[in-house]
Structure 1
Amino acid sequence: MAARINIKRSFLFVSKVLGKHIPVNPYTPLLSGAALGLLLYRELNAGAADAELLEPLMAQAVHGLLHPEAAQEAYQALAAAQLVLPEPVLFIGFAETATALGHSMYNIFAGNAAYIHTTREDIPELESVISFEEEHSHAVDHLCYALKPELLSGKEPVILVDDEITTGNTAINTIRDIHSKFPREEYVVASILDWRSGSNLDTYSQLEQELGIRIRSLCLLQGSIEVKGTPDLGSGGYTEPAAPAAEAPLITTYVQDGLERLKVCSKDSTGERNLAPYLKYSGRFGLVCQDNGELDRGVSSVAAQLSALREGAKALVMGVGEFMYLPMRIAAEMGAGVSYQSSTRSPIHPDRREDYGVHSAEPHPSAGDPGIMNYIYNIDPGQYDDIFVLIEREVPAGRIQPLTAILQRLARHKVHLIVLTPNLMEGGPAHEQA
């Protein structure tokens, strides 16, 4: 655990399988989502599920989560099973932490699945089809931009995916908003951790009775917690790690991924617009299983290009904020010695005690919005030979510099700023002041 710098909720479970606050084998967070998908497959198939197929896969998934060296084989076995759900379902991953978790849960299915993740991005040209608040968060508003509104307008079950359920209020707020616009009979709340206890255990059943719906819960780990008092955010045992002798050079590379773009802009808290297009099939705007092949090809192409840039035995691939899943998938295909994690906007107090979850913290203004502070956790200078940071679309050079400057102090050899682009003719700044 770690102390969250947030008066609404003072604690954070620092996950070893999520790929957010701790660098991990990239197959570990992919397997976390896939394992949740396997639980869903068993739940929706009820007695019709093939036990001879499911039991070995489940055992292999659990072994892979407990032993990171076995995560790749377990994940690939799940992906190769080509599971098809008995009925269409829609997965919704919660920003920012569960965008990749929801995507990897959805991605193991070969049919009858669609996916979209919520976002905190302000995209003026698009209208959010649902919106709700995450009451305990430092960033409460969630938006959801479905390119095809019919993605949410059917009667299929909605699978809400979050990394951790503590009270269940976020899921309840989401279900209320969806049901007021696109009513249906069934919802599933899936998470890595479910810590609901006491009166919180009754909130789903109360909502079921109120709305005439069914809510199922799935998780990899369930328990209860009790938090008393407030955290001591003094200096404690925290000491800054030793600085490197010299900064690593920064190499900016535009990498062609061949993926389709959506030509809409974003607006940040200062009113500045970024005209650089978004990845159409990142998950932010909606996906169906027929889109997965294009994403797979793009991932493999980028991974091959980045593998050729590696110089050392140990590399770190970083996503930024909500942009987690594609960098995670790319890292998984870059060979041995590659770890993955993402920057985050969650403020956490660092301390170097052995039993504490966050040993180092590097704050910096968000490249997408200078009014938002982001953080890199648990990376010490010289821990990695090469660091690759992937951004979904171009941002002004001055805005990315605080992030790259930190990474230059952390990398042993080189920092690679990777700007993804559909083709190499489309690289270049595209910004204007509103």
Structure 2
Amino acid sequence: MQPPNLCRDLGMHVHGDVALGRLIAPALRRNPRRAHLLVSTVLGKHIPAEPAAVRSAADHLTDLVALELHGEPCVVFGFAETATGLGHCVAARLDAAVYLQSTRRTGATVYGEFTEGHSHATSHLLQPSSPDLLSAADVLVLVDDEISTGATALDSIRALHALAPHRRYVVASLVDVRSPARAAENTRAAADSGLDIVFVALAHGTVDLPDGLPERVAGLPATPFNPVAGRRGTVEVLSAPWPSDVPDGGRHGVLAADQSRLRDAAAEVAAELAPHLDGRPVIVIGHEELMYLPLCVAESLAADGHRVRFQTTTRSPALVRDEDGYPLRRGFEFLSPEPDPEAPRRYLYNAQWAGEEARIVLIVDSPADTDRLRAPGGLLDVLAAAGHDVLVAIVPASDQSELAAARAEAAQQ
């Protein structure tokens, strides 16, 4: 697989099977711990993707997981922020007993946490509506977009095993780029810890990185963030309906019985948005960890005949270069809608429809509906300055204690 010229010229090479070339595009970021970035073409994070392609990739990954489960019930766990939607897709297709994601958002009861060494935001918090959700089945499926070394997966499993031991663990990812030596090391480490762990992925390969890459990337010129158009776009804000007893995502856990109700509630959000669309193609943008709900909205809009792509904002700063072959052609840097002293800025990449002006549909939950969202330098401001007409849907966020109470009441009936 030939990477973009920029990456190849720096000595970064990605080797793998044919599937790997379809699923990722190499890019760069200014991070002293990890200067390379494997941009997924089917995740809906950095690149706007067709909703059907996002769902299809997740379904194919799920089918590989199912081969390892042999019909056993499972709990599915997704990693924030990037894999929250992917993990939810896997859980939905498996009809998993519980889907739970980690989160970086504070403000709810935390039942556990672990850290991720190379990430831009290292803390993963566990905030289920009740701690027993993790123990709803003997097998735990952990879903991430990429396995690079396996270290994060193993550290996470050790932390989760201390909270709620499971008999078996399945680590599922879109791509696995561990070296053979690293994979063997993971196998030995799992055995030494007394853990039964298997890895599955849609594509496999390796990444060769030159010495001094972080320093070389830091010195590269970049296309500036926040392009400005000759016409300022418009902003329209709607309050979207959402049932208080239906989780809006996996932060507090999604039960198998919740899945169809969540999809129905997302279809209602799409129905509220549809009359405000005007025939232009639509890019549905979610807010960081809020990936699955916007994906379901995008799927509903597509089913109604709209031309739709889906992606989300991110915490991760990356190198933007407007040149052929490089996956991050333009970018936006903006105030974090939710105050975050450790990481006050957020990012959005591409958000374009080739050859046409697209309508932006931004879906955020209520904690992100802040003055910072609307302030100069906030997301709405930088998108409008780039000429985008933005339709914003504010979805009430699920409350941990309300979900716990509703579930306790349902269990007694």
- The normalised TM-score by structure 2 is 0.82
Match of 2:384 among 390, 405, 408: 408
What percentage of aligned pairs have identical amino acids?
Answer: 30
Match of 1:29 among 21, 45, 54: 54
Match of 2:300 among 308, 333, 336: 333
User: Which residue of the partner structure matches residue 240 of structure 2?
Assistant: 255
- Superposed displacement of residue 200, structure 1: 1.3
Structure 2: which 5+ residue stretches go unaligned?
1-25, 398-413
Match of 1:205 among 169, 178, 187: 187
- Superposed displacement of residue 328, structure 1: 1.0
Match of 2:99 among 105, 111, 115: 115
| C-alpha RMSD of the superposition | 2.2
Residues 9-20 of structure 1: pairs in structure 2 closer than 5 A:
9-20=34-45
CA gap of 1:89–1:256, structure 2 versus 1, over 3 A, is same
Structure 1: which 5+ residue stretches go unaligned?
46-85, 262-278, 423-434
Is the CA contact (8 Å cut-off) linking 1:384 and 1:411 kept in structure 2? Answer: no
Is the aligned partner of 1:97 residue 2:67?
no
What SS does the corresponding residue of 1:14 show, helix, strand or coil?
strand
User: Which residue of the partner structure matches residue 389 of structure 1?
Assistant: 362
Letter in 1 for 2:53: T
- Superposed displacement of residue 380, structure 1: 5.1
Is the aligned partner of 1:295 residue 2:262?
yes
Is the CA contact (8 Å cut-off) linking 1:93 and 1:103 kept in structure 2? Answer: yes
- Superposed displacement of residue 243, structure 1: 3.4
User: Which residue of the partner structure matches residue 131 of structure 1?
Assistant: 113
User: Which residue of the partner structure matches residue 409 of structure 2?
Assistant: none
User: Which residue of the partner structure matches residue 346 of structure 2?
Assistant: 374
Residues 79-98 of structure 1: pairs in structure 2 closer than 5 A:
86-98=71-83
What SS does the corresponding residue of 1:308 show, helix, strand or coil?
helix
Cα distance in 1 for partners of 2:227, 2:159 equals: 49
- The normalised TM-score by structure 1 is 0.78
Cα distance in 2 for partners of 1:293, 1:208 equals: 36
Cα distance in 1 for partners of 2:130, 2:224 equals: 50
Deviation sequence 1:146-203 (CA, Å, 0-9, x none) = 1121112356111110000000111011111122232222111100010111431123
- Superposed displacement of residue 235, structure 1: 5.2
Residues 29-428 of structure 1: pairs in structure 2 closer than 5 A:
29-45=54-70, 86-110=71-95, 112-123=96-107, 125-128=108-111, 130-153=112-135, 156-229=138-211, 230=213, 231-234=216-219, 236=221, 238=223, 243-257=228-242, 259-260=243-244, 280-335=247-302, 336-371=306-341, 372=343, 373-379=345-351, 383-395=356-368, 397-401=370-374, 402-412=378-388, 414-421=389-396
Is the CA contact (8 Å cut-off) linking 2:47 and 2:349 kept in structure 1? Answer: yes
User: Which residue of the partner structure matches residue 407 of structure 2?
Assistant: none
Is the CA contact (8 Å cut-off) linking 2:321 and 2:328 kept in structure 1? Answer: yes
- Superposed displacement of residue 245, structure 1: 2.0
User: Which residue of the partner structure matches residue 426 of structure 1?
Assistant: none
Is the CA contact (8 Å cut-off) linking 1:161 and 1:189 kept in structure 2? Answer: yes
What SS does the corresponding residue of 1:376 show, helix, strand or coil?
strand
Residue-pair matches, total: 361
CA gap of 1:293–1:384, structure 2 versus 1, over 3 A, is same
Is the CA contact (8 Å cut-off) linking 1:131 and 1:143 kept in structure 2? Answer: yes
Letter in 2 for 1:334: L
Which stretch of the first structure deviates more once superposed, 90-99 or 311-320?
311-320
